[in-house]
Structure 1
Amino acid sequence: MGFTNIGIPGLIIILVVTLIIFGPKKLPEIGAAFGQTLSEFKKSASHLMSDNDESTNSKKTVDAPEEEKKDLPS
């Protein structure tokens, strides 16, 4: 059993327990903070992936002239 099998009743129980622990005034703040954290994580992950793609492409373009220099006579 994993987290994928929680279902609607499980989510309702989690929400009720969270509401009891943190209270109705604090719950929107926690939700907003969680949303911002998730948004920053997604942004960082996509930025990291784009940096990785750029570095892979730049290595290929930087390495090509060096190989051509090896073939030229001195």
Structure 2
Amino acid sequence: MFGLGVPELILILVIALVIFGPSKLPEIGESIGKGIKEFKKAAEDIEEDTDNSN
């Protein structure tokens, strides 16, 4: 995944904990998850549209 291993992901999580605090992390995670979900849906819709136009 993007060339990141487990140690890098742990480091990113620790930095996020320090910057945002533990109370904000669930909200941030939820927002990121929703954004990724919407992006994937939009990409699928575009792919469907290009398949249907051929």
How would you bin the TM-score normalised by the shorter chain? 0.7 to 0.9
| Higher helix content, 1 or 2 | 1
Q: Which residue of 2 is the match for residue 15 of structure 1?
A: 13
Q: Which one has more relative contact order, counting CA pairs under 8 Å at least 6 apart?
A: 2
User: Which structure is larger by alpha-carbon Rg, 1 or 2?
Assistant: 1
Q: Superposition pairs for residues 1-74 of structure 1, below 5 Å? A: 3-4=2-3, 6-56=4-54
Counterpart of 1:25, as a letter, is S
> TM-score by structure 2 length?
0.88
CA distance in structure 2 between the partners assigned to 1:22 and 1:7 by the alignment: 22
| TM norm structure 1 | 0.66
In angstroms, what is the RMSD of aligned CA positions? Answer: 1.0
Q: Give 5+ residue unaligned stretches, structure 1.
A: 57-74
Moved beyond 4 Å, runs of 4+? none
Matched-pair identity in %: 53
Structure 2, unaligned stretches of length 5 or more? none
